[in-house]
Amino acid sequence: MWFYEKKLQYPVKVTECNPRLAKYLIEQYGGADGELSAALRYLNQRYTIPDKVIGLLTDIGTEEFAHLEMIATMIYKLTKDATPEQMKEAGLGAHYANHDHALYYQNAAGSPWTATYIAAKGDPIADLYEDIAAEEKARATYQWIINMSDDPCLNDSLKFLREREVIHSQRFREAVEILKFEKDRKQFF
């Protein structure tokens, strides 16, 4: 069960109406290494992972939803008052035809989100290694978006989200160490 706090994890400020940037940001919304994939991946894997790291997956999976909400806010603000003409110019003509200004879980190229983006092998090491890779890929995606964005306020929020990816990767790496340690200990019996 969750408690909802009616505020964002980190403030989201957008300087200008820029639907082009929204198109790129959708990658972190409904893309393979986006926040939705991350949240669902961890909150699903946690059932079949050793007890010691369940809490970590729950906590990080929950935080990913907070990130998803931030990304949603960014995309919404960037496109909110864009005219159909502006949407078209930004490469969002097809999106507008299908969704108007609504958000949709898809990647920057318009492919809808799919469960094939996430895996659950049931092997704790395999799953945690996937999680580490997912965090590094999300970190890289943030870098590429920051490189393309010239909105200082938006970049401030994106830099926060990028730093969180670094921390999550660190914690997953520690989870692997915990599981390695447990395995060694059994040999003394």
Partner 1 sequence: MYTPVKCYHPYYGPFDPCPPIRTKCYQTPPNLYLGFQPMNLQQYPLQEALYKGTLWPCLYDPYPTPVPKGGKG
Interface residue with partner 1 among 177, 186, 187, 189 (CB under 8 A) is 177
Stretch touching partner 1 by CB under 8 A, among 16-24, 107-115, 123-131, 165-173: 165-173
Tell me if 27 is assigned to a ligand binding site: no
Cβ closest to partner 1, residue 100 vs residue 150: 150
- Taking the C-alpha atoms of residue 109 and residue 94, their distance in angstroms, rounded to an integer, is 11
Tell me if 101 is assigned to a ligand binding site: no
User: Is residue 159 close enough to count as binding partner 1 by CB under 8 A?
Assistant: yes
User: Is residue 28 close enough to count as binding partner 1 by CB under 8 A?
Assistant: no
- Least distance (Å) from partner 1 to the CB of residue 181? 9
- Least distance (Å) from partner 1 to the CB of residue 166? 5
Tell me if 177 is assigned to a ligand binding site: no
- Taking the C-alpha atoms of residue 148 and residue 60, their distance in angstroms, rounded to an integer, is 27
User: Is residue 179 close enough to count as binding partner 1 by CB under 8 A?
Assistant: no
Residue entry with tokens 């999976």: 61
- Determine contact, residues 165/131, Cβ cutoff 8 Å: no
Cα–Cα nearest to 118, from 109, 130, 105: 130
- Exactly one of 27, 35, 63, 130 is catalytic; which is it? 35
Cβ closest to partner 1, residue 80 vs residue 183: 183
Cα–Cα nearest to 72, from 26, 140, 5: 26
Give me the amino acid identity at 127: D
Catalytic residue flag (residue 130): no
Give the orientation angle of helix 19-30 with respect to helix 35-45, to 10 degrees: 10
Cα–Cα nearest to 137, from 101, 109, 102, 172: 172
- What beta strand segments (E) does 29-168 contain? none
Catalytic residue flag (residue 64): yes
Stretch touching partner 1 by CB under 8 A, among 19-27, 104-112, 117-125, 134-142: 134-142
3-state secondary structure of 6: coil
- Determine contact, residues 19/26, Cβ cutoff 8 Å: no
Q: Which residues fall in the annotated binding site?
A: 35, 59, 64, 67, 135, 168
Q: Applying CB under 8 A, which residues contact partner 1?
A: 10, 139-140, 142-143, 146-147, 159-164, 166-167, 169-170, 173-174, 177
* Residues annotated as catalytic (active site), given as ranges: 35, 64, 67, 135, 165, 168
